[in-house]
Chains A and B, each alone.
Chain A
Amino acid sequence: MGALATYFAMGGYAGFVWPAYGIAAAVLGGLALHSWRHYRASRDALAAAQRPRDSRE
């Protein structure tokens, strides 16, 4: 337990280091997830709109 607990304590700065990494992961991960979902939705909608009329693409 000792070594791991010492590591996670971050020399007493755990309350600052981990939230900093957490916020970065949440913001950038959230942006990535949102952009990816939006992209898939736009791609599927376009494919559905093109299917009946234009089958070349």
Chain B
Amino acid sequence: MLSHLANPARFMRISGIALPWLGGISLVVLALGLVWSLILAPPDYQQGESVRIMFIHVPAAWMALSVYLFVAVASAIALIWRHPLAEIAAQSAAPIGAGFTFVCLATGSLWGRPMWGTWWVWDARLTSVLVLFFLYLGYIALVNAFDDASRGGRAGSLLALVGIVNLPIIKFSVDWWNTLHQPASVFRFGGPTIDLSMLVPLLVMALGFTLLFGWLLLLRMRTALNERRLRALRIYGQAATAGAAGEPASAAARPAWR
């Protein structure tokens, strides 16, 4: 019981220190990534300046996948060990992942129009990423669909785990099916095939997105914990005015993190 109380408390203390640093560093790295991808990187010999879209499209796609993996792993921890922070982590991460997936789809569409001649095709890669976007939205909707928050959390965790089968489909769709979307050029056997002058801004942007995710995650988790604490205080407040004002507020706050 005490360890359950200690974990969120420790999380609040450590995340409170990390939050401003993470926010500041991600701002700097993102600014650096913007300058690099919009000014310093050379135009592609085939795609011309449109290749600059790739510096946000590809890192956004990486984030879309890895944030989903994070949500699924946190959901598994929440289901198996009932760790109080795991479910909050999964629920805080899902809207961020949905945001990255939307950015990936929108920028891909804006690149596809001049390069492929179409905004959208029902290609295996594009379709499976669209499914990922709907998985995120479905998870968020399911979590909020129940009056009982713990039932919503469990249902959402199950959906997140089932949806994990989509991740290898997205990753290997370009190899399994002969589709319009090009195959991997960075994470592939035999090393990256793209030039260093383009790989560096890509990786700086990816680092910036990862740091931004970390900052947003801590921020949203802290918000959720604050709200739980507040709900517990209100319940305690009602109990105190109705009957005997016995225990201190910290004891009343305990069930909030169970």
Q: How many residues of B contact A (CB 8 A)?
A: 41
Interface residues of B in 214-258 (CB under 8 A from A): 215-216, 219-220, 222-223, 226-227, 229-230, 233-234, 237, 240, 248-250
Q: How many residues of A contact B (CB 8 A)?
A: 28
**Does the CB pair A39–B222 fall under 8 Å?**
yes
Which stretch from B66-74, B108-116, B163-171 is at the chain A interface?
B108-116
Contact with B along A18-57 (1 / 0, CB 8 A): 0111011001100110011011001101100110011010
Which stretch from B47-55, B122-130, B183-191, B195-203 is at the chain A interface?
B47-55
**Does the CB pair B50–A17 fall under 8 Å?**
yes
Min C-beta distance of A11 to chain B, whole Å:
4
Contact residue among A16, A20, A36, A46 (Cβ-Cβ distance under 8 Å from B56): A20
- Measured in the bound complex, the distance between the Cα atoms of B201 and A21 in whole Å is 14
Question: Which residue of chain B has its CB nearest to the CB of A48?
Answer: B230
By secondary structure, the A interface counts as helix
By secondary structure, the B interface counts as helix
- Measured in the bound complex, the distance between the Cα atoms of B113 and A19 in whole Å is 12
**Does the CB pair A27–B56 fall under 8 Å?**
no
Q: Can you identify 16 A-B contacts, CB atoms within 8 angstroms?
A: A16-B111, A16-B113, A17-B52, A20-B57, A20-B110, A21-B38, A21-B52, A23-B106, A24-B56, A24-B60, A24-B107, A27-B99, A35-B219, A42-B223, A46-B229, A54-B250
